Structure 1
Amino acid sequence: MTGPSDFATSPAPADVVRRQYIASADGDLEALRATLAPDVEWTEMAGFPLAGTYRTPEGVTSAVMERLAEEWDGWAAHDDTYVVDGENVVVLARYTATNKATGKDIDVRVAHHFTVRGGLIVRFEQFVDTAKVREAMED
């Protein structure tokens, strides 16, 4: 485990993933991109409004984070449990937000699988109850 002084630069997979969540929560897309490998593959689950696989740090933030901010107020991923196996980090979390079009809230459980190599996230896969998210988007 790393101490507070070296967390910001630690290449440990769980630390890299945690920095990604902190950057996302702060809306700091530059810091978020700094956690992603140039050839990152970021997959949003089939059935999720932003379903697909995105590549490059800029591609991920423009296609996912920026679009979430356009469509949802207060979108947040609350990470609570980390399971680490070498370069694999599985995070159990929940999403909370309010859909801008409908005013409906979500509070759904989610699992994220990250692969971290050389201090950067090279792969991400989302698992979420997509029906709950879509329900909040329907009038």
Structure 2
Amino acid sequence: MPAQNDHVSILREAYTQWVDSRGSDCECWMNIIADDVSLGSLADGSPEVPFTARRDNRSGVRAYLEDLMRDWEMISHAMDEFIAQDDRVAVVGRAIWRHKGTGKVADTRKVDIWRFRDGKVIDFDEYYDTARLIAAATP
């Protein structure tokens, strides 16, 4: 159980920093990921939101986050339920973002699944309402 508690603590702190920066500073995530991290997003590189394509290393995750911050503005991000078992943590909440180009808002429940190795994230997948995300990104 101690490792699970450590993982939850690491994620709680990172989410707090992410929200405090209003999604403008990705270092809170870069500080907790391994070099060989894998990131998957439910929209999976859809043409309307190409930044959501699968990423397989630190530089790919940084590019994902920079593209997100370039195109979207965080309105609210409340990930408040943490469920831990072994090397995995599921985080449940709600995210609300405004697309900077269209001005449209995507408001969706969100589930993030994290996997750790040696105190660093090696796998991250996010699940949300892709229809709302794509609709907000479409002029």
TM-score, normalising length from structure 2?
0.81
Two-structure CA RMSD over aligned residues (Å) = 2.4
- Deviation for aligned residue 1:76: 5.1
Query: Which aligned pairs between 1:71-82 and structure 2 lie closer than 5 A?
Result: 71-74=71-74, 77-82=77-82
- In terms of fraction of residues, the more helix-rich structure is 2
2:125 counterpart residue number? 125
Assess if the C-alpha contact under 8 Å between 1:16 and 1:121 holds in 2. no
> Runs in 1 of length 4+ with deviation above 3 angstroms?
none
> Where do 5+ consecutive residues of structure 1 fail to align?
3-10
Q: Does 1:33 align with 2:30?
A: yes
> Where do 5+ consecutive residues of structure 2 fail to align?
none
Aligned residue pairs, count: 131
Moved more, 28-37 or 103-112: 28-37
* Equivalent residue for 2:43, pick from 8, 32, 46: 46
SS in 2 for 1:106: strand
SS in 1 for 2:106: strand
> In the aligned structure 1, how far is the partner of 2:37 from the partner of 2:127?
18
1:14 counterpart residue number? 8
> In the aligned structure 1, how far is the partner of 2:126 from the partner of 2:79?
13
Q: Does 1:105 align with 2:105?
A: yes
TM-score, normalising length from structure 1?
0.81
